[in-house]
Amino acid sequence: MIDWIKTRSKRDLVLALVMAGGFFLLVGAVSRGLFSRASHYASSHSYEHSSGGGILFDEIFSVSPGAMLVVRVSDLDVVVSATSGSEASVVLSIDEDEDVSGDALEQMGFQVERTSEGLEISTEGDSWGHGDYDGTLHVTVPSRFDVQVRTGDGDVAVESIEGSVMLNTGDGDIALGGAMGSEVMIQTGDGDVAVGGTSSGSVRVQTGDGDVALGRLEAEDVQVRTGDGDIMIEELSGALTASTGDGDVMLHIVDFSGLEISTGDGDVTLYAPASLAADVSIRGGELILGDAFSMPATMEDRSLEGVLNGGGPQLSIRVGDGTIRLIER
């Protein structure tokens, strides 16, 4: 049954605010640290090719800003950095502990091709692992570029890009500094996702069993789904649909056009201005309402229907056995 409590205690609210503040700082640090991570991988330029790994490929290509990078590789970490100008650099380095024999590029089926749309990079290692090496593909492109990356079992790190972004990995983490384009699509089978400030028409993030941390989002439509992880959003301007099977959800609402959140067995914490206007629908759990909010409501069984500041966009929350907090920020 829903327990509607005006304010649980000052201690609870202070604790929640401290946790949120730490998260907001963390997301900012992740965003700022992406280029450092890419630079670390770029330091592989100092390797010398040997039977124990090193640089296998290092070339520069002429490209046009506004074009597209497509990466399809079997088992590599992928780092994409942004730069000014009209050139793209491609560096493939193999871990030093790898036993590289013969023509590794041929074994991997490594190809770089200029296409009518931009630049395409691919590998064709077979299913028995011949030609699959652990290593890093580091690509630098103009800052205004669309990026599509798919890797079978590696991590993906992309610096802030002025374009659409589609990132996919079978079993790795994904970090995106930010994007300004028509869409952002991120999917990982079993990894964490971190995204910096993003302005886009649509943002879609899905992970099978990882946490999702998003920075400042300005998007018409945001969809986030994780099977068994936490979802944290620094700031939201737009519409959000978020679901997690067994994790917590925490976000700061700046300006929203609709909100739908569901969690099977976790807590939901919303930070919002006292002027937040919404039609509220809550199912399950316990509701803790901060002092700044007044909500006329009707309650029945495990559900609550109410309005904040005269009503507005739909704010819908479903929890199985958790606590819902609405706190002024």
Task: Provide the pLDDT for residue 53.
Answer: 57
Task: Provide the pLDDT for residue 12.
Answer: 43
> pLDDT by residue (tens digit) across 13-28?
344 444 444 444 444 4
Task: Provide the pLDDT for residue 239.
Answer: 97
Task: Provide the pLDDT for residue 285.
Answer: 82
Mean pLDDT of residues grouped by 10 in the chain (329 residues)?
Answer: 41 41 46 45 40 78 96 92 93 74 78 95 61 83 97 91 95 92 94 93 94 94 95 96 95 95 94 95 88 82 88 95 91
Task: Provide the pLDDT for residue 98.
Answer: 59
Task: Provide the pLDDT for residue 111.
Answer: 93
- pTM for the model: 0.84
Task: Provide the pLDDT for residue 140.
Answer: 96
Tell me how far CA of residue 323 lies from CA of 36, 269, 313, 327, in angstroms: 38, 8, 22, 13
Task: Provide the pLDDT for residue 228.
Answer: 87
The answer to whether residues 328 and 17 touch, using CB atoms and an 8 Å cutoff, is: no
Task: Provide the pLDDT for residue 303.
Answer: 86
Task: Provide the pLDDT for residue 106.
Answer: 82
Q: How many CB atoms lie within 10 A of CB 48?
A: 7
The answer to whether residues 181 and 163 touch, using CB atoms and an 8 Å cutoff, is: yes
CA dihedral of 16, 18, 24, 26, whole degrees rounded to 10 = -120
